[in-house]
Amino acid sequence: QTVVTQEPSLSVSPGGTVTLTCGLNSGSVSTNSYPSWYQQTPGQAPRTLIYTTNIRSSGVPDRFSGSILGNKAALTITGAQADDESDYYCVLYMGSGVRVFGGGTKLTVL
Amino acid sequence: EVQLLESGGGLVQPGGSLRLSCAASGFTFSTYAMSWVRQAPGKGLEWVSAISGTGGSTFYADSVKGRFIVSRDNSKSTLYLQVNSLRDEDTAIYYCAKGGGYDPFDCWGQGTLVTVSS
């Protein structure tokens, strides 16, 4: 069974930089996985941040960036702000129309 | 402005059925794949199903295959999810999302809550 892995929790200081990763329990993530990233605050619908590895969605600040680091997809937040404190989810395309979400990363800004 | 508005959620007994709807506006509905994503209380996001723009191809997560049916009416710009044989673990907010397959989920509805309980 394919499992998409994310750090359960991370913390960052205001103004700092943090990298969230998205991997596979078996195999590597590449651009062919079309990784995308979503931000969700409690009680709200998800918001699209990054798609197709590194394309920022409309209106997303450029402090959010996506990449492939080693065998994982990565979301980097540079100059973190208090309102970046959220849950972050990645999703990978597995082929045959199937997408699988990671378990999410709870980011704390403190 | 792209908008997605889900409806049809509610309280249903185990083994019951519901039909969820998602009314879309602000884009050419028939040219985009659409998806359903759910979130159980206090849990993460789970991709449930997707359908191509024409409706000719459908895809399901293993957890719902054989019980859920996705469909669309392009003349009404509406996406549907027929949820059958419901189980306690199907309790979740069901989100409609524009995109699917290779295409990212680039717009989300506010969700509709399905509660399965006796």
- Cα separation of A107 and A89, whole Å? 11
Closest residue in A to B5 (Cα) is A45
Q: pLDDT for B9-57, tens place per residue?
A: 999 999 999 999 999 999 999 999 999 999 999 999 999 999 999 999 9
Question: In this prediction, what percent of chain A has a pLDDT beyond 90?
Answer: 95
How far is it, in rounded angstroms, from Cα B54 to Cα B73?
9
Partner-chain contact B50 A34, CB within 8 Å: no
**What pLDDT band is residue A2 in, cutting at 50, 70 and 90?**
confident
Strand partners, B79: B22, B72
What is the pLDDT at residue B101? Answer: 84
- Name the residue in chain A with its Cα closest to that of B57: A97
> How far, in Å, CA of A1 to CA of A56, rounded?
30
Looking at residue A22, what is its pLDDT?
98
Answer whether B5's CB lies under 8 Å from B110's CB.
yes
Which chain B residues are closer than 8 Å to A41 by Cβ?
A: none
Across B1-28, b (16+ Cβ under 10 Å) vs e yields eeebebebbeebeeeeebebbbbbeebe
Per residue in B76-110, pLDDT (tens digit) is 999 999 999 999 999 999 999 999 988 889 999 99
A38 contact residues in B (CB cutoff 8 A): 45, 105
The CA distance from A98 to A92, in Å, is: 9
Q: Residues with Cβ < 8 Å from A54, sequence gap 6 or more?
A: A65, A66, A67
State the pLDDT confidence band at A1, using cuts at 50, 70 and 90.
confident
Which of B45, B58, B106 is nearest residue A57 as measured by Cβ atoms?
B106
Q: Which two tokens stand for residue B106?
A: 């680039």
Which residue numbers of B have CB closer than 8 Å to A's CBs? 35, 37, 44-47, 50, 57-59, 61, 95, 100-102, 104-111
Q: What is the pLDDT of residues A66-79, one digit of tens each?
A: 999 999 999 999 99
Nearest CA in chain A to B42: A42
Work out the pLDDT band at B4, boundaries 50, 70, 90.
Answer: very high
User: Is the pLDDT score of A83 beyond 90?
Assistant: yes
CB B41 within 8 A of CB B106: no
Q: In the prediction, which pLDDT does A9 show? A: 98
Interface test with A, best of B1, B2, B36, B47 (most A CBs within 10 A): B47
In the prediction, which pLDDT does B91 show? 98
Rounded Cα distance, B116 and B103, in Å: 31
pLDDT of residue A48: 96
Neighboring chain A residues of B111 at a CB cutoff of 8 Å: 45
